[in-house]
Amino acid sequence: MGDSTILTVEVSRGTTHDGPGIRTTVFTKGCPLSCRWCQNPESLSARQEVWYTADKCIGCLECVRACKKAALVAGEDGIHINRGACAGCGGCSAACPAKALAVTSTEWTVDELVREVMRDKVYYDEFGGGVTVSGGEPLMHAVFLEEFFQKLKAQGVHIAMDTCGHVPEASIMKAMSYADAVLFDIKLMDAGQHKALTGRSNELIQNNFETIAAYIRSANHNIDKSQHPESQPSAPQCPELLPSAPQCRKVALWVRTPLIPGDTDTDDNLGRIADYLISRAADVVERWELCTFNAACAAKYAKMQMPWPYAGRAMMKQSEVDKIKALIISKGFPGEKLVVTGLIKQGA
C-alpha cells in the first residue's frame, strides 16, 4: 500500500453524528495515538491485519496449515495470532471454512473509493450531508486524501474531516483547502496525562487546533468583507495561511471529547478544556460534542486478542451527564453549543 491506495476498516453509510446531515463516513487505518479507550482497535496499525472470532471457530486448523509465516498457534481456547509474525496476507482467512478469521480492512484506489461514496450522493443532496473521513487518523494519508477530496469537490460533495490533530501542520493545511467541517478531538489538557493515556504529548495537537481556528477566523473575516463591500473596498482574499485554497468559504469547527470514566471525565479536565476553548476559539467553535463512554467495542478487542482496559465499566447515567454539562456551562461555555452523544442510562 502506498500513496495511490488506502486501507479502510469500514465505509459506514447513513451516519448522522459525523458532521451535518446524513453522511457516509470512511474509517481509515492507522493512527499516531494509542488511546487507552480507542473504539476501533483494528484501526490503530496502518498495516493489514487479521482478527479472530472464537465463537465461529470449528477447530479444523486449516488456518494454521495455510499460514506461511507460522503466525498462528492452536491453543485450548482457540487460535492465537502472533502479530509480530503475521504479514496480514489473508491466507488464513481464505482457508478458514467457518469464517472465524478475517482481514480487518479493505484496500481502495482513489477512483474506487470515490465511486463507492458517490453511491450515496442523492442522500447528501436531499439531507444536507456529505462524506466524512475518520479513522484511525485519516491525515496520515494526506497525499491520497488530497486527490480524493479534489474529486469529491468537483462533484459538489460536502467534506468533513475528523482528526486527532497529531499530524504535521502541512497535512492539516492541505486538507483545509477542501474541508467544509472539521471534527477535532481534544481529549486531555494535562500533557503528562495525555502522554500516559494516548502515547503522545498534546503540544502538537494544541498547536494544530489553534492553527485551524486562526484559518477559519481569517476565512470568516474575508467572507464578511465580501458580503459588505461598501465598508471594505478591497477585494476579498483567501487566508494567507493557505493561499492555494480553491475558495473562501465557511468552515464548521466541532470539538469532540470522549467521556472516559476516571480519565477524561474529571471536573479538572473538562473545566480546563472549557477554559481553553473559551480563550482560544470561542468565536469559531460551533459545537463541543461530549461522547459518552461506550463499551460496545469490547467485542472488537476480543477479536483482536487485545485486553479491554475498561471491562466492567457501566454506561454513564443521566445524572452524571447533567453534572458535567452544568460544570462546563458554569465556566462560561455556551450551553447551546454543547452536545452530548452516545448511550446514557436513564434514572439516578
327 backbone dihedrals φ, ψ, rounded to 5°:
-60, -50
β-pair type (338-341, 5-15): unpaired
Q: What is the pLDDT of residue 178?
A: 96
pLDDT higher than threshold 60 for residue 244 = no
Q: What angle do CA 66, 71, 75 make, to 5 degrees?
A: 90
pLDDT higher than threshold 50 for residue 343 = yes
Distance (Å, rounded) from C-alpha 343 to C-alpha 340? Answer: 9
- Give 86-121 pLDDT, tens digit per residue: 999 999 999 999 999 999 999 999 999 999 999 999
List C-alpha distances in Å: 152 to 88, 131, 234, 245, 319. 30, 9, 32, 15, 43
Contact 101, 80 (CB under 8 A): no
| Omega before residue 136 within 30° of 0, cis | yes
pLDDT higher than threshold 90 for residue 208 = yes
Longest dimension (CA), the chain: 79
The single-letter code of the amino acid at 216 is: I
Distance (Å, rounded) from C-alpha 208 to C-alpha 185? Answer: 11
Contact 29, 43 (CB under 8 A): yes
- Give 18-31 pLDDT, tens digit per residue: 999 999 999 999 99
The single-letter code of the amino acid at 323 is: K
Own/partner contacts of 78-82, CB < 8 Å, gap of 24 or more, are: 78/52, 78/54, 79/52, 79/54, 80/305, 81/50, 81/51, 81/52, 81/305
pLDDT higher than threshold 60 for residue 228 = no
Q: Is 201 left (phi over 0), alpha (psi -120 to 50) or beta?
A: beta
Distance (Å, rounded) from C-alpha 211 to C-alpha 188? Answer: 18
Enumerate residues 6+ apart whose C-beta is below 8 A from 128.
20, 21, 22, 158
Enumerate residues 6+ apart whose C-beta is below 8 A from 47.
29, 88
Distance (Å, rounded) from C-alpha 166 to C-alpha 174? Answer: 15
Residue-wise DSSP of 214-282? HHHHHHHHHHHHHH-TTT--SPP---TT-TT-S-----EEEEEEEE-TTTT-SHHHHHHHHHHHHHHHT
pLDDT higher than threshold 50 for residue 127 = yes
β-pair type (158-163, 181-185): parallel
Q: What is the pLDDT of residue 222?
A: 74
Banded model confidence at residue 345, pLDDT cuts 50, 70, 90: confident
Cβ neighbour number for residue 4 with a 10 Å cutoff: 11
Q: What is the pLDDT of residue 225?
A: 64
Which is more confident, 229 or 251?
251
Banded model confidence at residue 223, pLDDT cuts 50, 70, 90: confident
List C-alpha distances in Å: 268 to 265, 333, 336. 8, 15, 22
- Give 270-310 pLDDT, tens digit per residue: 999 999 999 999 999 999 999 999 999 999 999 999 999 99
List C-alpha distances in Å: 42 to 32, 74, 224, 343, 345. 13, 22, 44, 22, 27
